Structure 1
Amino acid sequence: MLIISKFNMTRRLILKIHPLSSQNSILSHYLPFSYIQKQSYVNVYMKWKQDFYLESIESVHRSIELRPILALKNYIVSVSPQEYSIPISAVSKKGIHFGVHIKVARFLRQYPSVFEEFTGPEHNLPCFRLTQRAIELHKEERDVYREFNDDLILRLKKLILMSCVGFGEKKVLPLKIIKGMQWYLGFPDEFLTDPEKNLDGSFEVVEMSDGLTGLALKNNNLNDRVLSVMQKNAIKRGWDNETIPFPIFPSKGLRLRRKIIDWWDEFQKLPYVSPYENYNSLIRPDSDAAEKRVVGLLHELLSLFVEHCAERRKILCLRKYLGLPQMVHKAFERHTHIFYLSLKNKTCTAILKEAYFEKGAIDTHPLAKVRKKYIKLVKESTFILKRRRFSNRACDGRSVNVNAIDCEHDDGSEKTELEAS
């Protein structure tokens, strides 16, 4: 009775303070137990299982090794476009700029199939030039840039259209963010050094509110004409364009619990939101529908890249500008049927499974074949170095003067094994 009387006194006091409010709304506002809160986000955990096929793809895992090699190659070409050679002093103190964390001379000597060492004309300093095969691949790479220039520009437009940051009515991304993704998108260096000169008229350089220099799209109507890879494939297969399910590729030997299967079936039935659409007013950020939008954006982002993969930490740098949640890395861990996380090379690489398990579902990047040829060329360095070590060992053996060897307990009556040979 005492508790009821205290509750009635509190109720009368509230009604006196808010005489114009209804009783139900006041009680529901002040009494937290008077309404039920619903949560549409289901917390599931997917087991990670190693995929030996994805772990063995050289174009994915040797990309980290190839990046500084091509950066040095491009620098040599820019400095000496005729002779393709530089003295070591030109790059000896620029290792960090090229992503090289050891002495640059030592790094260049590790790849004799790409860089050839010779003695310079002045002061007998070591110099390096590109091998003939490296020059041929460089010219082939430049031909690809010229032939598929429109394709590369379209990929840049799509990346900017994913941005949730606007400059007036235009979508914009900071130039430093685009440069950070340049390797994955396969852009040539001149694309971003002078965008207004090297890109078409649909781009403009703007100053963003946070003081950064951004690259914006002038034509906003382009947003209506761009379809994601998921939408294009749905049209080809005759699927409903509203609830597009993700193609899944389960890891071999991985069995899911029944409740996870039920959650996944419901997740696939949720509406698909294109990464090029404005989502802010459509989806609650703490819902499964918002998670499907994040998964769709990551799927589209990886489909734009050369190897359809990227270091996970690089993708996290886009979080602020693509409207991704704080725990965006959970999307890779919860959707192991769509993405694969490789821990090779002491880094975490996110790989889009569809690009490697379903042929023709995602367009091949124009630069992919050239990079595979570069990797094949780089691999030849291992055999060249082995051959050199073997030949040096053989030369050292032939130069030994047997008569000069002092052997204890040798009276000269018997030949040593070395003399006999």
Structure 2
Amino acid sequence: MAMCGKKFAYSSQLLSSASSRIFSFSWGFPFLVQKSFKSSGRRPKKKIYYREHDLDRVMELQKKPSLILQLKNIILNQKNRCILLRDLEKEVGIVEKWNFMSIIERYPLIFKVTGGSRRPYVLQLTDKALSIVEQQKDVMEMMEPIVVTNLRKLLMMSMDCRIPLAKLVLIQPELGLPKNFMEDLIPNYPDFFSVQEFKGHDYLQLESWDSSLAVTHRESNLFMDPMNGKRLHFTKDGNCSCPFSFRVKFPAGFRPNMRYLEEFHKWQKLAFPSPYLNARQFNPASPAARKRAVAVLHELLSLTVEKRLTSAQLDAFHAEYQLPCRLLLCLVRNHGIFYLTNKGIRSTVMLKEAYDGSCLIEKSPLVRFNDKFLSLAGRIEHSLNKKMPLTVEVV
């Protein structure tokens, strides 16, 4: 999807030939443009997708930290926790090698190179970096019950309570799973998981259903909302405390009119089946099933450590979760719930309610550990209470 400046245009089909109307889509509520011109030969108004600069900045700020963390893991995976500089190319390729060489030179508090004078150059972590790394084992122990629960929920949401192992590996870092989770984690929970072959592929199969886990992140937040049941009227921000409503954040430049808000409020009140019920029970063309698909996407993103996945990663799970055929259009239409950004290396889908400005609101132990390690690089964080950037002190 091509972007231009602050916003980009895309085309969609008009569903009515009325001279003046609301654009009502099959997903149950109007989209960004609310009225079209009367049929007088003039071009219809373009559909605008508004940028969220704070969320774009999240991805821009991740470029160098992601390289730092990747290089750290490469070093720690070596037998002696060090690697010859000449072997770095074998790990990352000749093109990426130079990006990492720049990182090594730029952050001497994290990486150091020893050798020379007829000795090979060796890359390793500094003593300060190693002192933080020593805490990683405790962090992974804290993460284990979290990732096991999230993995069970992922399997419970899937069509047949199983997911191909290759697809889990695709989102392994985003779920917070250890690198060798199939050897180090799965065998420890035979009551929850098993590995089975199906049509020539290995699948992770759910062994036991736990009804207490069949509660979505959306529902949990709704139960904790002190205004639950007291804000049934619709507001200009689109939020209400209906049992089937989503928390939305419209873009700053988006100004919905009253007719739009009325239609949107009807969609917010529309009942839909739980994402943990099997999708085969429902007609995918029904409004309730389409709203359920939005809830499935919401829950998938909620189960990741940073509440985001790339578009390609989401697209890989079409069959397992019966995602919309036109997934990209579904995400764009629900612009108050999800945000699509092309910043960074890949197009990324973010859960808007999980961020306050550019800061992730709920941080898992793994995210807090990574932040602490990256503080050696002087990474900029954002305070939740202030808009001014807060520089993390170097430990």
Range of TM-score over shorter length: 0.7 to 0.9
Tell me the equivalent position of 2:197.
207
Give me the whole-angstrom Cα distance separating, in 2, the residues matched to 1:51 and 1:104.
30
- SS of alignment partner, residue 244 of structure 1: coil
Greater share of helix: 1
Aligned equivalent of 1:372: 371
Counterpart of 1:51? 52
- Separation in structure 1 between the aligned mates of residue 273 and residue 362 of structure 2, nearest angstrom: 21
Conservation of the 8 A alpha-carbon contact between 1:203 and 1:215: yes
After superposition, the C-alpha distances for 1:182-206 in whole angstroms (9 at most, x for unaligned) are 1111122132345543555411111
Tell me which amino acid in the other structure corresponds to 1:66. Answer: P
Partner residue of 1:10?
none
The SS at the match of 1:91 is helix
CA 1:145–1:199: 2 relative to 1, 3 Å: farther
Supply the distance in 2 between the matched residues of 1:101 and 1:329 (Cα, whole angstroms): 33
Kept in 2, the 8 Å contact 1:242–1:272? The answer is no
CA apart distance, 1:96: 4.8
Scaled by the length of structure 2, what TM-score is found?
0.73
Partners of 2:361 and 2:286 in 1: CA distance: 28
Gaps of 5+ in 2: 1-24, 33-47, 233-240, 380-395
Provide the aligned length of Structure 1 versus Structure 2: 327
Partner of 2:156: 161
Q: State the alpha-carbon separation in 2 of the partners of residues 108 and 224 from structure 1.
A: 47
**Is 1:230 aligned to 2:224, yes or no?**
no
Pairing 1:3-402 to 2, within 5 Å after superposition:
41=27, 44-46=30-32, 47-57=48-58, 60-81=59-80, 84-96=81-93, 100=96, 102=98, 105=101, 108-119=104-115, 123-164=118-159, 166=160, 171-199=161-189, 201-209=191-199, 211-219=200-208, 221-223=209-211, 225-237=213-225, 238-239=228-229, 243-282=243-282, 284-345=283-344, 347-357=346-356, 363-379=362-378
Between the aligned residues of both structures, percent identity stands at: 26
The unaligned stretches of length 5 or more in structure 1 are 1-38, 381-421
* Secondary structure of 1:326 counterpart: coil
Alpha-carbon distance between aligned partners in 2 of 1:155 and 1:42, rounded to the nearest angstrom: 29
Contact 2:67/2:103 (<8 A) preserved: no
Change (3 A) 1:227 1:93: same
Give 2:237's aligned residue: none
Distance 1:64 1:318, change over 3 A: farther
Instruction: Within 5 Å, give how 1:398-417 maps onto structure 2.
Output: none
Shift of 1:215: 1.0
Q: State which structure, 1 or 2, has the greater radius of gyration over its C-alpha atoms.
A: 1
- Residue 263 of structure 2 aligns with an amino acid whose one-letter code is W
TM-score normalised to structure 1 length? 0.68
Alignment-mate amino acid for residue 341 of structure 1: L
- CA gap of 1:40–1:301, structure 2 versus 1, over 3 A, is closer
C-alpha distance in structure 2 between counterparts of 1:114 and 1:212, whole Å: 41
1:353 and 1:40, CA in 2 relative to 1: closer, same or farther beyond 3 A?
closer
Greater fraction strand: 2
